[in-house]
Structure 1
Amino acid sequence: MWSDLPEHLMERILECLPVDCFFRFRAVCKTWNSLFSSQHFNSIARNSQPFLILCPAKTQLPSLIYSFVTHTWRTISLSFIPHDRPINFRGSASGLLLADINTNFLFGYNSSMLCVCNPLTQMYSTLPEMISVSKIMAKAIFPAGNKTDEYSVMVVGMSSTGTVLVEAYNSTTKAWKVAGSIPDVVLRSENVFFFKGYLLGMTASGGIMAYNIEQGITSVMAMPTADANNLRARIVCCKSGVFVVGAIEENHCLKGVIVWEFVFEKTEEEDYKWEEIWKMPSSVCEEFRRSSNSNWFECVGVGDKICLRANESMEILVYDVSKRSWNWLPNFPADFRYVSMRCLQLEVMPSTKFS
C-alpha cells in the first residue's frame, strides 16, 4: 500500500507530522528519504519552528533536541562525524552545525579543524585549511544567498605575523578568502554573530566588537551598564534582533539577570543604543541560582526565544522576546546531567550538497 501511494499524498502527510518526526521518517526507506529533496518539503522545513539542541563534546554520546511544538525532548546521534577527539559546536545556520575539532591536545587552536554537518541527513564536510589565520579566536556560520544549500563560515583569528584577520569560507566556491583585518581587538574564544552586515563578538576587555563586513570598519562598544566589572554577559541573536543577556554578580553570586536589546540607530555620535527590555523576576532568579553550583551560564537564541542554562543544570530557562515572559522547559533525562553540553539552535532543513 505504501509503495503505491502517490508522492503528493506523502507530502500532505508530511504537513501533518511534527517536524521532529522527520528524524525518524527519513530512516524508514529510500523512497521516504528521497522526499526530503522535494520542493514541498523545503517550504515546510523553512517555515518550521527551530529546535534547541544540546551537543556533548564527544560525538559517541547522543545529543538532545527539544521541540517547542511538541514540548518534548528527543535524542539524536552525531556519531556519523568520524572523530574521537573533543568537538566544540560553535554555531548553526540553515540546518547545519559548525564543529571545531581539536586534532591535537597539545597545541589547542593551532591544530583545530572545522567541519559542518547536517544532523537530519547525517552528512558532514570538512572545510579546507585557512589561507592566513593560524590561531582561531572565534567563528560563525550563517546562510549565504537565497538557496537553502548555501552557507558561509567566518573566522576571526591571528595570522603568523600577529595580525587579527577575518577569513570567510563560501560553500559555493569551496574556498577561503581574507575579508579584512581587525586592529587592536582580541575576542573571547566563543561564537561571533552575523547581523545586518555586522560581525559581532565579545572582546577580552569586556566590550562588544562590531565589524562592518562591507566597509571593513571596526568599532568597540561599551557594555549597556556602567557596572560592567560585575557583569557576566553573553550576546544572543534571535529572529527579532541582537540581545545581551547580563548576569549581575555580587561576591561571585548571581544577583540578577537583565536582557538588553541592541538597537541600530544612526546618530551623530554613534550607530547604536541599548534598550533594557526585561529583568528576571526575583523569584525566577532565585530558582535559576539554585539550579547551579557556580555563577557560570550559557544562553542561545532559538527562534524568538532566549534559552539559558546554568552550569550542570538539568533545567533550562526560556525568555520569550515577543511575549516578554519567562518559563522553564521540562527537565531533560537525568543521565545527561553531568555531561558537558553546548546549547545551540537547530533548524530542520533538507540535505545540503556537500562535496
Structure 2
Amino acid sequence: MGALRFHKQTMWSDLPEHLMERILGCLPVDCFLRFRAVCKTWNALFSSQHFNSIARNSQPFFILCHAKTQLPSLIYSFITQTWRTISLSFIPHDCPINFTGSASGLLLADINASVCFGFNSPTLCVCNPLTQMYLTLPKMISVSRIMAKATLPAGNKIDEYTIMVVGMSSTGTVVVEAYNSSTKAWKVAGSIPDVVIRNENVFFFTGSLFCKTASGGIMAYNIEQGITSVMAMPTADANNLWGRLVCCKSGVFVVGAIEDNHRLKGVIMWELVFQKTAKEDYKWEEIGKMPSSVCEEFRRSSNSNWFECVGVGDKICFRANESMEILAYDVSTSSWNWLPKFPADLRYVSMQCLPQEIMAGTKFS
C-alpha cells in the first residue's frame, strides 16, 4: 500500500504544468479556496496567466456579502450546487461596508468613511475574496460626491481592472472618472448631462456603463466614444409597476414587479434589444413572466414585496426580503428553479453577484 501511495504521488508530481493547470481550472469555485492551501506549487499555479485564462471559462458563481466583515459571508457554486461560507475579515475595517459592484471576481466596496476616518466622502476599496487581497483606492481627482460606480471586466493581464465612478464635481458638473490598475491612478474620462443617477444595479456591458436615473429612466454611457443616451423603462398594463436593472451574460434586462393593494402580484422581464433604425437604436422585448404558482411561493418566502435580483452567467437570481432561498430564472432555457437553502441563518446579508469570470491571480500593490 505504501508503494502504491508513493507511485500515485510520483505520477501526480510528474504531470506537466499545463495539464495540471487545465485540471485545476475545471474545479468549481468553492474548491479553489481549499486547493490553494495544498502546497506552494498549486498556490503558484493559481496566480499564473495560463491558469487564469482557463478559470475564466468556468461556471458562474455568486457571493452573498455581509456588511460586517467579521461575520461570515456565503458563496454558491452552480457546478456543485452547494453553499460554502467565506470570510471577508481580511478587509481591515470594523465599520459596515457596502459592496456596490463586481466584475471578474473582484468586489468593489465603499466604506462608511465618516464613521471610520471622519471623512465626508466614502473611501472606495477593491478586493478579491478568492485570494483574500485588498486595496484602498486613492482619492479621486474631480468627484466630490459619488452618484454611481462600477467595476469593469479585466483586461488581457490577470491583474488588470478598471473602476468607473460617476459623480458631482466641486464645480457642479457631472463627470466620469476611471481608475486603472496598471497606472494606479484616476483620470477624468468625460462628462455627462446633468441627470440624477441612482446608485443601484450599476454595471458595464458591451462598452457602456448602465445605471438608473432618478426620473425612472436608464442611462447608458459609452466609455470609448463619450456618448450618453437616456432611455425610458419598459411599461406594462399595470398601475403600480417598479423595475430593477439587471445584467447577465446574455444581455441587459429590466425586472418589473407588479403590486396590487400592497401585494406582489407578478414579475415581468424585458430584454434590451439593440437595433439600427431611423428613429431609435434600441427597444424593450418582453421575454417572460414569473408563473403564478412560482410567484405565490416566492411571496410566501418573505414578509414584504421587496426583493433583490442579480444576473449571474445566463441566470437572473431573485431573493425575497430576508428569505433563506434563492429563485433562479435561466434566460437560455426560460426555466425557473429554486437553489438550495442557506446552510446557516444568515438572512441579514445583501446579495452581491460575482460574474462567471474568476480573477484568481490578482495582485494588489
Band of TM-score, shorter chain: over 0.9
Contact 1:89–1:342 under 8 Å retained in 2: no
Contact 2:133–2:363 under 8 Å retained in 1: no
1:167 paired residue number: 177
Write the deviation string for residues 35-73 of structure 1: whole angstroms up to 9, x where unpaired.
Answer: 212344223311101212100101111110111110100
State yes or no: 1:344 paired with 2:353: yes
1:208 paired residue number: 218
Amino acid at match of 2:190: G
1:65 paired residue number: 75
The 3-state SS of whatever aligns with 2:182 is: coil
The 3-state SS of whatever aligns with 2:171 is: coil
Deviation (angstroms), 1:232: 2.1
The 3-state SS of whatever aligns with 1:288 is: helix
The 3-state SS of whatever aligns with 1:80 is: coil
More deviation, 268-277/177-186? 177-186
Supply the distance in 1 between the matched residues of 2:91 and 2:292 (Cα, whole angstroms): 43
Amino acid at match of 1:100: D
Contact 2:201–2:244 under 8 Å retained in 1: no
Deviation (angstroms), 1:210: 1.5
Amino acid at match of 1:154: M
Alignment counterpart, residue 153 of structure 1, candidates 146, 149, 163: 163
Supply the distance in 2 between the matched residues of 1:107 and 1:207 (Cα, whole angstroms): 35
In 2 relative to 1, CA 109–65 (structure 1 residues): closer, same or farther, beyond 3 Å?
Answer: farther
Supply the distance in 1 between the matched residues of 2:177 and 2:28 (Cα, whole angstroms): 38
State yes or no: 1:303 paired with 2:295: no
Deviation (angstroms), 1:335: 1.7
Amino acid at match of 1:53: I
In structure 1, stretches of 5+ residues that fail to align are: none
Supply the distance in 2 between the matched residues of 1:108 and 1:220 (Cα, whole angstroms): 36
In 2 relative to 1, CA 263–56 (structure 1 residues): closer, same or farther, beyond 3 Å?
Answer: same
Deviation (angstroms), 1:333: 2.4
Deviation (angstroms), 1:227: 5.8
Deviation (angstroms), 1:215: 3.0
State yes or no: 1:6 paired with 2:38: no
In 2 relative to 1, CA 229–209 (structure 1 residues): closer, same or farther, beyond 3 Å?
Answer: farther
Write the deviation string for residues 18-41 of structure 1: whole angstroms up to 9, x where unpaired.
Answer: 342111111233232112123442
Contact 1:139–1:191 under 8 Å retained in 2: no
Supply the distance in 2 between the matched residues of 1:332 and 1:131 (Cα, whole angstroms): 42
In structure 2, stretches of 5+ residues that fail to align are: 1-5
Deviation (angstroms), 1:275: 0.4
Supply the distance in 1 between the matched residues of 2:55 and 2:278 (Cα, whole angstroms): 43
Supply the distance in 2 between the matched residues of 1:275 and 1:80 (Cα, whole angstroms): 43
The 3-state SS of whatever aligns with 2:295 is: helix
Contact 2:106–2:128 under 8 Å retained in 1: yes
The 3-state SS of whatever aligns with 2:198 is: coil
Deviation (angstroms), 1:147: 2.3
Deviation (angstroms), 1:348: 3.1
Amino acid at match of 1:58: K
Q: What TM-score, normalized by structure 2, do the two folds share?
A: 0.91
Contact 2:83–2:342 under 8 Å retained in 1: yes
Over the residues paired in the alignment, what is the CA RMSD in angstroms?
2.2
Higher CA-based Rg: 2
Supply the distance in 1 between the matched residues of 2:109 and 2:148 (Cα, whole angstroms): 12
**1:97-108 map, 5 Å:** 97-105=107-115
Contact 2:113–2:119 under 8 Å retained in 1: no
Deviation (angstroms), 1:6: 2.9
In 2 relative to 1, CA 332–108 (structure 1 residues): closer, same or farther, beyond 3 Å?
Answer: farther
**1:12-31 map, 5 Å:** 13-14=23-24, 17-31=27-41
Contact 2:97–2:109 under 8 Å retained in 1: yes
Deviation (angstroms), 1:12: 5.8
2:103 paired residue number: 93
Deviation (angstroms), 1:149: 1.9
The 3-state SS of whatever aligns with 2:194 is: coil
- Percent pairwise identity: 81
Alignment counterpart, residue 264 of structure 1, candidates 263, 274, 284: 274
The 3-state SS of whatever aligns with 1:192 is: strand
Contact 2:197–2:211 under 8 Å retained in 1: yes
Deviation (angstroms), 1:15: 5.2
2:3 paired residue number: none
Supply the distance in 2 between the matched residues of 1:7 and 1:165 (Cα, whole angstroms): 52
Contact 2:253–2:272 under 8 Å retained in 1: yes
In 2 relative to 1, CA 39–138 (structure 1 residues): closer, same or farther, beyond 3 Å?
Answer: closer
Supply the distance in 2 between the matched residues of 1:264 and 1:108 (Cα, whole angstroms): 45
Alignment counterpart, residue 207 of structure 2, candidates 188, 197, 205: 197
1:53 paired residue number: 63
Q: What TM-score, normalized by structure 1, do the two folds share?
A: 0.93
Contact 1:37–1:350 under 8 Å retained in 2: yes
The 3-state SS of whatever aligns with 2:352 is: strand
Contact 1:300–1:345 under 8 Å retained in 2: no
Write the deviation string for residues 86-112 of structure 1: whole angstroms up to 9, x where unpaired.
Answer: 111111112211111111149999421
Deviation (angstroms), 1:191: 3.6
Contact 2:62–2:312 under 8 Å retained in 1: yes
